[in-house]
Structure 1
Amino acid sequence: MPALDLKGCLEDSPTFRKRVNSHEESIQNLEASLKSILKLARSQVNLSSEYSLRQQELALGFLTFGQSQDDPIVAHALEKFGKSMLEVEKCRHMFNSHVASTFIDPLEKFMKETVSPVKDIKKRFEKSSDDVDSAMSKYMSKKPRDPTISEACAANELADTRKGFHQVYMEYVQTLNDVEAKKKVDYMENVLAYMYTESVFHHQSYEILKDLEPYMRDLTGIIIITKICVLTRQKKKGNGSRQRYVEETVESRTYQDTCAQNAASEYSPMHGGVPGSPLTTTQPSSPAVSKSGYLFERRGGRVLQSWVRKYFIIDGEELKCTYRGPKQPKDDDLPTSYNLRVCSVKLTDSYDRRFCFELISPVRILVLQAENEQDMHEWVDCLRMANQMALNSDNAMPEPVTSFRGPSDSSPKSKLKEFSSTNSETDQLLLKTLREEPGNDICADCGAQGSEWASTNLGVIVCIECSGIHRSLGVHVSKVRSLALDKWDSETIEIMLRLGNTVANEIFQESVPQHMEGFRINPDSTRPERDLWITEKYVKRSFVACKNEDEEELNQGLWNAVTDSHLAEALRCLAHGAKVDYKNPDHEGQTALHKAAEQSDEIAVEFLLQWFSDVNQKDDKDWTSLHYAAANNNVRLVLALLKRHAKADVKDKDGKSPLDLAVDKQNVQAVTALRLFAFDKQHNSSPASSLDFGFREAMSSFKLDRSSYGSSHSALDLRQTTSEFSPNERDIVLNDDQNHKLLHPSGGNGGDI
């Protein structure tokens, strides 16, 4: 189960509450299971100890009886049998001791120190939640001219209560995260230790247990491989998942301490309500307006009315509302979604509460109350903007609202946004360099300043108005992404750096006909004018200069450009009509994608994939691009191609798949990536896929490692590894040779009892 983000405590959305409830139910089920298991384990140890005493008495009886025998053969046999039985009971005594020390005692400690305190913290959390709701209702119920309640006193009381609630909330969420984190590793390690103890003791029952040993060995291998793969991605931060958990805990504690230092006045609704909580957000995948938060909704008529607190969210063209709790009141039959295309919004002072506004829909007039004046204006602005975008969805989309701007924020420079925090520091620096390249500071189509959108396959940077036209052309013509909001891969940024507005316009605007000069667009051009110019430029390619090159020359030019990693020339050939999947007869029918993969040119591969090159195209040897990536042990290319739906089971003329080639060449990293992919593909629909053993995270960790592909080879013959594992693709090869030994039971916990 994914860990809860402490930042969700500040917003306290219904979705976050549902996740908290799921963690609570998981811990309750865990506690019940642990109690049952501990009871059975103690009973087993007691019965085993009693049985061992009887066996020792029987062994001593054999020894005594043997000493009284005159026949030396019988005496020797009884003595041997008795001593053997005593040795067995010594092993049983060690077994009972290990069960107590490695299974019962740790689980009892886990129950006492980790699971049991959750109940006490939960009671404090529920009481604090009720207190803050009461304080909020008391503050929001104040009438504009009610002298009996001091607004400042009510606000201070709400602020103190809210701050205390958030501290308890974060402590409770952190406790739930602690339990979830610990049970994944500690519980399974204890279970494995118990099973290995059983296996060692019951050596005489090996025929019964041997069918279970492959599963135990595989389970041990999976846990160890997960730790090693996470270690690869986290080598600069710590060792293994335990170290990572410690680091995340420290980070969480630091965040709690920072929040604890906030003054109580910062929680006051007169100053924004919750420090650090975003009031307005935008969806990374589109420029649509999005805002969420709690509002009070008026129910009833003018006389008999009540106010109910609900959670509202603007989702595209819809305004959706829901209660914070998992259950909706039975008497609430009002709509939970309103189509903003047919709604209007206006401010009003016709009600006995402050900060009210109306959403007028064909069904009803929805009266809503915000927490303060700024929040009210932001909701009204966002609803109006979403309404206009819904009514005129084919028109250019305005800049997404990210905060309530004052007059000082109207300068052009203030419109430039910081890059998404999901990008690494290196990629953010590359994006900054891209933005500062000559020609990239203005729109490639209309020349507007402060352009923040890019077409990744065309290599141009455009403004928000022109990006709307690019989106309408379809992704087969232009793939639009935001420089500020979207996550960027390093390869895609490198493509943009090699192209850019200057290079692209030299291709797509090289020869503008005289009769079209009057149709050039500028920052003030209308939507139809932009549509005409951009369609002529990129779809019809009316401004691309005619070079009188035949199709074969263009195709060969594209192939040569990719071979030389000359993306500008490759773009020119594609603009003139070269086929991206042209098969070169002089090079065994290779396409440009094959050649780029053979040369481990990740930038060229990404560029061709942007232009929809067939990732499963075969050459004369029936090799696909994945064959070349696996043969070169380029794990980043392997993962990039798999992400683009490359088929890992395609066989060449020799009957070899990409995995077979990597095994033959002893390419450990490529083998590991392909086998992890095959294992994950086989099990991703099973219940085990929810156990968070880290397959996708492990595969991502390989892609993050830039320094090792092409250089890792195993001293162990990978062609022989399949005989040591089950045939169901569970034979995952480690990316570090020295860890092969960990796949054997002797390397696991409790293996040498």
Structure 2
Amino acid sequence: MTVKLDFEDCLKDSPRFRAAIETVETEVSVLETQLEKLLKLCTTMLESGRQYCAHSKTFVSGVQELSHHSLDDPLMSECLQKFSESLTQMIDRHEELLDVTQQSLKNQLHSLVKEDMKHFKEARKEFERGSETLASALHHNAEVPRRRHHEAEEAMAALKNARSAFCARALDYILLPVFQINVIQSKKKSEILKFMLTLMEGQSSYLEQGFLVAKQLEQYRKDLAVQLHQLVLEAAREKRDMEQRHTEIKQKDLLQDDFGPEVRTEPGGAVMEGYLYKRASNAFKTWSRRWFSIQSNQLVYQKKAKDVVTVVVEDLRLCTVKPCPDHERRFCFEVVSPLKSCLLQADSERHQQAWVCAVQNSIASAYSEDRLEFSGQPLERTASLSAAKLQSPSGRKLRGSVDKHVLDQVQRLEGNAQCCDCREPAPEWASINLGITLCIECSGIHRSLGVHFSKVRSLTLDSWEPELVKLMCELGNRVINQIYEARVDEMNVKRPQPGCSRAEKEAWIQAKYVEKKFITKFPKAGLRPSRSGDIRSPEKPPKPFLKPKPPSQTRRTVGNAPSRLSPSPGPREATAPVSPPTAEELQNLHPGALLYRAAGAPPSLPTMADALAHGADVNWVNAAQESRTPLLQAVAANSLLACEFLLQNGASVNQPDSRGRGPLHHATILGFTGLACLFLKRGANMSAVDADGKDPLSIAIDSANADIVTLLRLAKMREAELALGQSGDETYLDIFHDFSLMASNDPEKLTRRSYDLKLTTL
């Protein structure tokens, strides 16, 4: 408020003036107390803010150190660097806000409290002195007795002088505090409002600059969120793999299992590692446990990972290895070189045998070129094929890696862009034996049904073999739903939607695939198989598998394409496949017979899926045609997809016909390299012999099929290594992967051009 006083009251020093002065002084005192409190609070806020900024800078420094430590991870390094820079800019803006607030506090509130209030107090003291002087003169004049004329005259003269001086200086002494009071009241408004306005402008600028810094990272944060989603998927895959490994390990008898040396593949060649006891060459003959490894034809060891490697044997090719059964310690063997010998001890007999075999293999690897020449051209061709694969500049994905195009390729098929069961868009899971795509929730329900109903695999996390991708593209949601949902509209059943509960989806999937409530009823009338399984028609006698003629009497074939050199029939035509059955014939067949006929040339995967849905036995035997199975029919048709479909649905890869020939025998006889590779990968028995006493390798050598001879030899070598407890050479898997790629994508490259090759038996 503004102080207004009458000048006469000021000169008279009236009670009204004194009361007004006291009221204003009280308000100024309260204002001073409030302003001092606000100054302390603001000072505390500034100190806390500066401490926060200091701690924030320390935190950012820690983030930057972590970024420098993560230079080998570009994603994390870039993220930490960008975020630390943005946080630094925000902290700088915060410090600018604190500086503005402190400057405004000093210019406005601090000057108001420390200077203007000080002037007000000094003016008040002057006013009080003037009042006290006037009051003293009046009091002295009043005390002089009447009889003392001389003193009375002096007191009157002093009073007159004091009154004149008071009248002359009254306005200055009185008006000065009034003026100071009015100044303080005016500054109280302007200075406080100005301080608050400056503070709010600083806050607004700070928040606006922080928003701009965050806005600059908006696109990067979105991209990082996508990458984070991929990391979550990868983490889920790793977690699932770890759980599977954990389950497998728990199923083993850990108390009886001894963990032996490890064989793995590195750029320098096969490496074997493990702990061994080594006897020292000193007089005490002490034994020490060391980590030994075989790499680059050298035997080396070290105590700790950071220790310098000690070379025991420079070149294992110049050494021999032998067990030491007569030594007092068990499981000992000796590596003898021209210069010295080294006595070693394993933890068990199996470990001892593994190390002896590893050293022997390392010695034999020096003569690998001689062995390749002795074994013939197939291994040379295999080696060159594998080398070409490893050095291919095309950047094709390595074996076992995830093909990023599988998801797009499978989802592009009609109906596959939605979940087969609940129509959820963009499904990322699949059932490989049914050939359908699934959302993550439906895939979990399928997995709970068991692998005999549905084999679930991720389109983004798992690796996909080329034949499986083609199988998925051959079937698809539309085809399978035509089978398993054929009577849904007729039965007026409501399909589940993406928003349905898990219980509803589970009930639907159970009814659809397990109970098969919605498939068409299989016709009861018509042609039925006899007790022997005869599905022949009188006009179509059985056509047996025929062995191809010698090279001189047959044409050469390239993949599935006919040869341009000669029109004479080749081994593929020698099978004389049964002509495709008509739709009426298929409708009158037993489910097993339908599966058998549909697997023949040309195979029909939708019909095969229909037969399995109606309860066909995937290993159904046609006793009237040499006990052939649907898988043997698919072999005769040289259909990689039909064979893969049957195997995924539980077909036996080793079930023979009446002549003792399984699928691998027939693929070898007919020269179908891609099928032979598929059966070997699925665990076909290479040692099984037919009625003539021949195994697949003997048949391949007789027919001079270089590719199949190569595959069988490699498979036998790998089988022998696994029998010794070794993990096997990864090159074998790479070669099989190459043959699978050619069989699926470039079957014309699998040529039988080596009829004139002279092969030696193993």
Range of TM-score over shorter length:
0.3 to 0.5
Q: More relative contact order in 1 or in 2 (CA 8 Å, sep 6+)? A: 1
Give the alignment's TM-score, normalised by structure 1: 0.44
Query: TM-score of the superposition, structure 2-length normalised?
Result: 0.44
